[in-house]
Amino acid sequence: MVESLNSWANGITAMRILLAPLVFLAIPEDGTGSWWAFLLWFVLCSSDGIDGYIARRRGPTTVGAFLDPLADKVLVLGAMFTLVAHDIFWFVPVAIIAAREVTISAYRIIKSGRGVSVPASKLGKYKTVVQQFAVAFALFPPTALAATWTWQVLLWLAVVLTLVSGAQYLWYAMKPQRADVAASVS
């Protein structure tokens, strides 16, 4: 377990969590976007792919399976709630996204308590990327005010993917009981 805490991938993930508040502080209240916030956002979101690449090459860890989705949630929800607080994002889509994230995180914690890992689905990964792009376009100065439709469309697309991927997790949550029975019979 100690070696899993000291992996490069987990270090990058921990860095994303620790640096996330810098993005929130850099988000301007006037909705004009910020090159500083956008560049920091880009680096932190890109590091998600880097730690995933390293984890796949060196082997994933239990700690990484927990920390990576947590880092995504801290980064995305923190930025979205900051944008809501600055009256840039509307509260409703962010509340829907947050409710799904809390529900699925609770599900993962319950399953991990039973020794079952619940990795992110492909659709869940796409959802995260669309959420990241919605925030990015709201922070990117050329689109923050001049092309608000870009981040608004992406935000609502993120809501759709959030609901569909959440339903997918809940659907699969019901299936293991049937699969466990079938596995024990054969």
The domain locations on the chain are 2-176
What pLDDT score does 55 carry? Answer: 78
Beta strands (DSSP E) in the chain are none
Do 81 and 94 touch, CB atoms closer than 8 A? yes
Report long-range pairs for 106-110 (Cβ below 8 Å, ≥24 apart): 107/169, 107/170, 107/173, 108/66, 108/69
Across 13-22, 120-129, 150-159, least confident range: 120-129
What pLDDT score does 5 carry? Answer: 55
The 8-class DSSP code of residue 145 comes to: T
What pLDDT score does 58 carry? Answer: 78
For the chain, what percent of residues have pLDDT higher than 90? Answer: 51
Rounded-to-integer distance, Cα 67 and Cα 79, Å: 18
The 8-class DSSP code of residue 27 comes to: S
Q: What is the mean pLDDT of residues 75-102?
A: 96
Res 115 pLDDT > 80: no
Q: What is the mean pLDDT of residues 88-111?
A: 90
Class of domain 2-176: mainly alpha
Res 186 pLDDT > 80: no
pLDDT tier for residue 67 given thresholds of 50, 70 and 90: confident
What pLDDT score does 175 carry? Answer: 72
Q: What is the mean pLDDT of residues 22-44?
A: 95
Q: What's this model's pTM, rounded to 2 decimal places? A: 0.84
pLDDT tier for residue 2 given thresholds of 50, 70 and 90: very low
Tokens in use for 133? 């792009």
pLDDT tier for residue 3 given thresholds of 50, 70 and 90: very low
